Homo-oligomer: A and B are copies of this chain.
Amino acid sequence: MCAQLLSTQPYKGTRDFYPDDMRLRNWFFGKIRNSLELAAFEEYNGPMLESLEMYIAKSGEEIANEQTYNFTDRGGRRLAVRPEMTPTVARLVAGKIGELNFPLKWFSIPNLYRYERPQRGRLREHWQVNVDIFGCDGFEADLEVISTAVMLLKGFDADESMFKVHINNRRFFNDVIAAIAGTDAEGSRKVSKVVDRKNKVTREAYEKDMAELGIDGDKIAKIDALYTMSVQEAAALCPESRGACELLELFSALKNAGLDKYCVFDFGIIRGLDYYTGTVFEVFDEAPENNRAMFGGGRYDNLVGLFVKNTNITGVGFGFGDVTLENFLVTHKLIPDIYNQGTKVLVTRFEDVPYEKYIALTDKLRSLGVVSSMYIGVKKFGKQIDYAVKGHYSHVAIMGASELEANTVKLKNLSTREEVTVSLDELDGYFAN
């Protein structure tokens, strides 16, 4: 034992989940898991430690080194604590590419680590729902992924006044920039970086960055105009573009599926990562005090190709973090009272009754499906009641010598204060109500 006391704080940027916190997380992830399983998504998982090479291949040495927790094991392997799930899922798909049943509808709820300064809504450890469809090139997969995002939020009784899905297309972006500014693919890519930063810099800085790429004056004005166009107006600017066709097809399908009220075309959605190739989207919180992108995703065509040669398995998906979800649910008051959700019985104890009688009663309650525990230990009756109240028990079961003799138990409802004496043989009837 060391003389110095250890800190009770968790590591910077990480959280402890005491039972009250865990109950909330289990509640919302439980709802999400149920919704996804109902829609025939299947859950997978992978290890916390992965080869650092994967993140370098995807994002470059500098980003991978700086933004992950990484180290070298005794065998000289460079490892990272996983910062995101997409490389892992691409690795899994590549690993069994010949056996898997495409299109895959997969999800996972991993914890992830990123090495950055903790700030509101951005911690070093968080949990993230990852939803992906692999092996379908058509609009159907994009539609299913977006409708799944909507379904998850609707599952919490959120409606279209609370969130909106902002949708764009990376191919369309490149083509319309080319049509307006005459850029080549690399030029459009550079413009996308500037547009992606637009809301984070002054108008002056934005125009300066654009000018450096040869875009000024009325070209900037034409790009500005895209932000207020309907998807049809925007697509008309480059009608031959595959991206424009994809956008029109997706929006038409969203309308036919009755999802248009949740969705809006937004030319400002870029998603910084270079690996997106088609549809990109972000889900915004519509609350004025919390208005911001909550999560997003899109289509990426080449990730499985990092692992297998000559493959063409496309993916489309999104990732949704627990901190953001909890903020959204709190803002819109969508969290019910998660304590008072059912019966939970504390079997109190008197010392003049053999302990095994309480064990038998508790076993009986559990066999009826009633959450229950005997009071563990020896304390005065009042202390046991305090324990039940503080522990969110709904009832206490009281069995003294006289009840025992009469083969009964007194059940006290802790919220109504009602007390009922019930025969031990009729317990099921009491709890069936």
**A interface vs B, CB < 8 Å?**
1-2, 5-12, 14-19, 22-23, 25-26, 37-40, 42-51, 53-54, 56-57, 69, 71, 73-75, 77, 79, 81, 91-92, 94-96, 101, 103, 105-106, 111, 113, 115, 125, 133, 135-138, 140-141, 144, 147, 253, 256-257, 302, 305-309, 344, 346, 354-356, 359, 366, 369-374, 376-378, 387, 390-391, 393
Point out the residues of chain B lying under 8 angstroms from A47, CB to CB: 10-11, 14-16, 125
The residue from B22, B135, B359 contacting A257, defined by CB atoms under 8 A apart: B359
Contact in complex: A307, B8 (CB < 8 Å): yes
For the complex of A and B, 8 pairs with smallest distance between CB atoms: A14-B47, A8-B95, A19-B42, A40-B373, A256-B356, A71-B71, A17-B45, A136-B377
Contact in complex: B49, A6 (CB < 8 Å): no
The residue from B26, B309, B366, B393 contacting A43, defined by CB atoms under 8 A apart: B26
Selected A-B contacts with CB under 8 Å, 21 pairs: A1-B306, A2-B306, A6-B53, A8-B92, A9-B95, A10-B50, A11-B50, A11-B79, A12-B77, A18-B44, A19-B44, A22-B44, A23-B43, A38-B372, A39-B371, A40-B373, A69-B73, A144-B376, A253-B355, A256-B359, A257-B359
A371-B38 contact given A8-B94, A57-B1, A140-B377, CB 8 Å threshold? yes
Contact in complex: B376, A105 (CB < 8 Å): yes
Contact in complex: B306, A5 (CB < 8 Å): yes
Contact in complex: A92, B356 (CB < 8 Å): no
Contact in complex: B257, A356 (CB < 8 Å): yes
Contact in complex: B377, A141 (CB < 8 Å): yes
Contact in complex: B141, A51 (CB < 8 Å): no
Min distance, Cβ A403 to any Cβ of chain B, angstroms:
19
